[in-house]
Structure 1
Amino acid sequence: MKKKLLATLLSASMVLGIAACGSGASTTTGTDTQQTTTDNAQQTESTATSAASETAAAETPVEYPTVTFMTIDFNSGASNTGDYAEQTMEALESHTGIDVDIQWVQSDVLEEKATLAMQDPSSMPMIMTWNGSVTGTVVTAAKQGAFVDLTEYLKDTEKYPNLSKQNAGVAESLTVDGKQIGIYRARVLGRYGVSYRQDWADALGISEPKTIDDIYNMLYQFTYGDPDGNGKDDTIGLEMTSYTGPFDIMQTWFGVGNGWAEVDGKLIPVWQQPEYLEALNWFKKLYEEGLMPSDWASRTTDTWSDGCKNGENGVYIDVLDGGRRVWDYFVNNEIPSVTDASQFASMNLLSNINGKTMATSGYNGYFTLSASTCDTPEKVEAALTFLDKMCDEEMLVLTNFGLEGVNYEINADGNVVRLDNGDDALKANYNGLNQLVAYIPNLESELSEEKTERQLLEAEVKADAEQYAVLNPALPYLINSTTYASQGKDLDDKISQARTQYICGEIDEAGLKAAWDDVLNRGYSTIIDEVNAQYK
């Protein structure tokens, strides 16, 4: 929708009225009076003409450049809807100076919709959102010139004061054939860690774990030591579903890399490291001893963290904010501590075990600019201006908290107090608009709610985790591996499946190694060669 900004001016009739009052105050007589009357008439006529001209100009709409934007709808059609949706969008467009035309797409069909859009280049949205990291589909399209090369644009610190502060290492992961084809959506590097039931640990006299053996002891005691004190065999140490991210994190404790590792000057996939098999044997031991759910491989990911919330599990290994949300659940639902019923159950958050944790890629999802519809420098600049200004403090506040006086107010301490807690209809006006934000260079606004003890600990542990976070050294090279672009995801899935089968005892070590040999023969040897040719 086009926004028409009309300046607030006095009407011509008001100006005439003021002028008339001014002339009536004269006490001059005779010829002077006649001259004064003539002068006043001329002045009034001039003022009226000027006012009429200004009013006409004010009524001429100021039209913003239009940017079309395909992005994710996580709200089942309720993104930017409701009574205050238009007011919210007006605030967003007024700040950015861009009329944004949003095409909302459900997350699970985003790549399909984006791929279909690329089949008709003339109608591609100017900005397109992509989930996760760069896929083979995007790399192939980039090589065919589907996206604008942003390399030089993003060096302009005056036009793009936010985007130009991007992390060079993360941006390299979005570089194809030397051209940056996307703008990443920033995430914390040190986001992964260990969270566990502190009251369970206190009840069993377990101190904060530092080593792999300490974690094993905690998992064993949480399973067989009756940590909730109810005299029943109804607890299991490790929270686990078919989502295998916890294995990726725990592997790093053994010295395994993050996807890939540098060994003797060469980059190799981690399943070629001796430490990888050592880690898998440890996971296998946890499974065989019942320290994680026996049906973990078939538990759906939408139940992730339910075990901890419901008192079945005591250790949660994933993002630290996930562990903090479990703790929030305990407090918000007044779940009593097993050691003191007058207190709430609690979690502790750890940045590392054995001096290691897994780093994130530094981003989750990214934006591309379509070369076919951003086909002039002016259109590219309009799209980049919008993305840059969406990273301003004002937009971080709007997309996170909504409208002041409607969705939130600011208390005497300068903290946000939400007015829409529990009111999903009221939140709907700004729901989803955070999907338009790249979060460069700031992940959060300066304005915030008063932090709870839990949130403060989360921030502290995340900051600490960065120094222990193991990065993936192959990310910049995988994106430019032709074979990885076409086959990498399928081959990585086969490696992950073999890991699961080995842990659950469906295949033995010989079967595991046979699976590794199979993916090497199917193309992974070529991927390794292509990665190292760039690395050297």
Structure 2
Amino acid sequence: MKKLKTVLSFLLVTIMVCTVVFAFAGCKVDEKPSGSGSSTDPPSGKSEPKEVKWMLYAYGTVKLESHLKIYQKLEELANVKIVPIPVPSDVYKERFNITVISDDVPDIVSVRSVGKTANELGEKGIFVALNNHYDKLPNFKKYIDKFADSVPHMTANDNNVYSFPLVRDNAPIPAHGIVLREDLLTKQGIDINSIETVEDLYKAFAALKDANDGKPVIGARNGLENLNLIAQTFGTRFMIPRYDKELKKYISPVDDPNLKSAVEYCAKLYKDGILHPDWASMSDEIWEQSVASGELLVFFDNMQQIAQRNADLRVDNPDAKLAAILPPKYNGIRYEWGGSAKLDNNRGTAISSKTKALDEALMINDWLFSDEGVEFVVFGEEGKTFRRRDDGTNEYIVDSDWETGTGPLPTEYGSGQNVNFLRVMDESLFNDWHIYGKNKNEMEPYCKVYAEQIYTYILPPQKFNQEQVEKLKELQTPLDTAFQENLVLFINNSKSMDEWDNFMQTLKDMRIDELVALYNETLE
């Protein structure tokens, strides 16, 4: 009994000592100064931030790997830690495919230029069906409702929406158009406003060649894609199959006489030394340098280039002026062109179905559709990078250069990344946004006129079922290759136009009619 009392006394003393030690230890923790805790400690009332990996389409001068303020803003908003994974644009599609094959898709993924693939992968369970979460996407949903007629253009065959698109909200989109050096045409005695027919346009090209000491004046940074604007001027396209607005169906190049006329026109440009011999393989960098230096005097490209390239030209020539014209008439008709839908998922963003931060990923993307989010992405912070005018529009108060990547907006905020962060383009942004530069007024009127008179309809959405997809894979690629390779040969005068009928027969033998029928099935 005595031994038992001794043991119990020892245990009691031990417990009391431990209690005192822990009490003092607790007091010592409480005595720490405010804010001296570990930097990894979650904010008061918040859980530990979740890691969100974001695969970004890297282009331009913004350093996406930096801890940009756009990341900081989103991290604070959603209580996350963003891990950016920037991938250069020239290898993006390849890396995108690798992440899918390796089953290692990050939480958020840019689907720039892989929009159709994103839908196909969404149907296979790779990406989240956003329409199942509209209750958590109020800012995004308002655009879905506003542009309901564009939703079919971005939905998959199962009618789900798998990517956040770029919204073109009442903005005169800086569309592709026909642009020439007006100052040099004037010196050659040609009024740019007198160009009414394709014949007038050819004379203008020839006059510019004379003004350029006999050197070629037309180049292209995307080969046939750029020359396609000439084809559209002729009421056709350098792509197959072509949707005919009047017939309301897709037609075969075999049944399109305007196609041959457009190719003959381009072949004459090449033969007469007006079209640059390297037009089909010219790099983006060489093309930009050639236009900026005044070596090339004509382009068929994004009219946003007008302001940028005029600024370059005027460094040495204050009177230089690139200006756009409406597509001239062919056989008395000024053809209208098919434009983009208001919801453009070719510049979209998707969420991995395996993410462990779904609510946070939804919150991040939805905020980018809010007025606050769009303003932050474009202008930064009020009082720091922009001020609000009396009329409610914004004005930059800091100098930034997005082409060279200098100044706080591109280097600190990440502004200028219209593919990754900007989700809405509207009229106010068109008027104020940095990307249009100080010479925006030289571009804006052309974009508006093109929007009103040329890009007057939207091409129909293409939705193929699984059986059609398999047949499409069998037919489309070999036909595209044969079609485009032969067009280049004809335009470069490497193949005589006398062989045109044989070319059409080759397309028939390759089952072009089946491909056209496949596309027309999507219209039913």
- TM-score normalized by structure 1? 0.73
CA contact (8 A) 2:310 2:320 kept: yes
Give the secondary-structure state (helix, strand or coil) at the position aligned to 2:94: helix
Residue 161 and residue 475 in structure 1: after superposition, are their counterparts in 2 closer, same or farther (change >3 A)? closer
Deviation, 1:73, is: 1.8
Residue 212 and residue 200 in structure 1: after superposition, are their counterparts in 2 closer, same or farther (change >3 A)? same
Alignment match, 1:254: 234
CA contact (8 A) 2:64 2:84 kept: no
Name the aligned partner's letter for residue 223 of structure 2. Y
CA contact (8 A) 1:129 1:365 kept: yes
Indicate whether 1:390 and 2:368 are aligned. yes
1:338-349 mapped onto 2 (5 Å cutoff): 343-349=318-324
1:151-170 mapped onto 2 (5 Å cutoff): 151-154=131-134, 158=138, 160-165=140-145, 167-170=147-150
Give the secondary-structure state (helix, strand or coil) at the position aligned to 1:176: coil
Deviation, 1:529, is: 2.3
Indicate whether 1:206 and 2:167 are aligned. no
Deviation, 1:251, is: 1.2
CA contact (8 A) 1:67 1:101 kept: yes
Separation of aligned partners in 1, 2:268 and 2:399: 50
1:305-316 mapped onto 2 (5 Å cutoff): 305-316=288-299
Q: Deviations over 1:120-148 (max 9, x none)?
A: 44x4223221232535x545434423223
Deviation, 1:399, is: 2.8
Deviation, 1:321, is: 0.6
Indicate whether 1:113 and 2:95 are aligned. yes
Deviation, 1:248, is: 1.1
1:58-457 mapped onto 2 (5 Å cutoff): 59-61=44-46, 63=48, 67-74=52-59, 78-81=63-66, 85=67, 87-95=69-77, 99-121=81-103, 123-135=104-116, 137-138=117-118, 140-154=120-134, 158=138, 160-165=140-145, 167-179=147-159, 180-186=161-167, 191-207=175-191, 208=193, 209-224=195-210, 226=211, 233-241=213-221, 243-256=223-236, 259=239, 260-262=242-244, 264-269=247-252, 272-331=255-314, 333=315, 335-336=316-317, 343-354=318-329, 355-356=334-335, 358-362=337-341, 363=344, 364-373=346-355, 380-402=358-380, 408-410=385-387, 414-421=394-401, 424=406, 426=408, 427-431=410-414, 434-437=418-421, 439-440=423-424, 442=426, 445=429, 448=433, 454-457=439-442
Deviation, 1:191, is: 0.2
Indicate whether 1:508 and 2:493 are aligned. no
Separation of aligned partners in 1, 2:139 and 2:383: 32
Give the secondary-structure state (helix, strand or coil) at the position aligned to 1:105: strand
Give the secondary-structure state (helix, strand or coil) at the position aligned to 1:317: strand
CA contact (8 A) 2:58 2:64 kept: yes
Deviation, 1:276, is: 1.0
Identity rate, percent: 15
Q: Which deviates further from its counterpart, 317-326 or 87-96?
A: 87-96
Separation of aligned partners in 2, 1:258 and 1:154: 39
Name the aligned partner's letter for residue 444 of structure 2. A
Aligned length: 459
Unaligned ranges ≥5, structure 1:
1-51, 228-232, 337-342
Name the aligned partner's letter for residue 361 of structure 1. S
Deviation, 1:489, is: 4.4
Give the secondary-structure state (helix, strand or coil) at the position aligned to 1:352: coil
Alignment match, 2:484: 496
Residue 308 and residue 277 in structure 1: after superposition, are their counterparts in 2 closer, same or farther (change >3 A)? same
Give the secondary-structure state (helix, strand or coil) at the position aligned to 2:327: coil
Give the secondary-structure state (helix, strand or coil) at the position aligned to 1:349: strand
Q: Deviations over 1:256-288 (max 9, x none)?
A: 258422364532255642111111111111111
Separation of aligned partners in 2, 1:493 and 1:328: 38
Name the aligned partner's letter for residue 309 of structure 2. V
CA contact (8 A) 1:183 1:438 kept: no
Residue 352 and residue 510 in structure 1: after superposition, are their counterparts in 2 closer, same or farther (change >3 A)? closer
Separation of aligned partners in 2, 1:264 and 1:108: 38
CA contact (8 A) 1:243 1:301 kept: no
Deviation, 1:157, is: 7.3
Deviation, 1:245, is: 2.3
Deviation, 1:182, is: 2.4
Name the aligned partner's letter for residue 201 of structure 1. L
Give the secondary-structure state (helix, strand or coil) at the position aligned to 1:148: coil
Q: Which deviates further from its counterpart, 522-531 or 497-506?
A: 522-531
Separation of aligned partners in 2, 1:420 and 1:466: 30
Separation of aligned partners in 1, 2:60 and 2:221: 24
CA contact (8 A) 1:140 1:485 kept: no
Unaligned ranges ≥5, structure 2:
1-33, 35-40
Name the aligned partner's letter for residue 326 of structure 1. R
Give the secondary-structure state (helix, strand or coil) at the position aligned to 2:304: helix
Indicate whether 1:466 and 2:451 are aligned. yes
CA contact (8 A) 1:166 1:440 kept: no
CA contact (8 A) 1:258 1:470 kept: no
CA contact (8 A) 1:126 1:370 kept: yes
Q: Deviations over 1:182-215 (max 9, x none)?
A: 2323466560112211211221221122321221
Give the secondary-structure state (helix, strand or coil) at the position aligned to 2:355: coil
Alignment match, 2:25: none
Q: Deviations over 1:341-381 (max 9, x none)?
A: xx43112123433334644534342222322337xxxx555
Separation of aligned partners in 2, 1:113 and 1:295: 29
Give the secondary-structure state (helix, strand or coil) at the position aligned to 1:118: helix
Residue 239 and residue 405 in structure 1: after superposition, are their counterparts in 2 closer, same or farther (change >3 A)? same
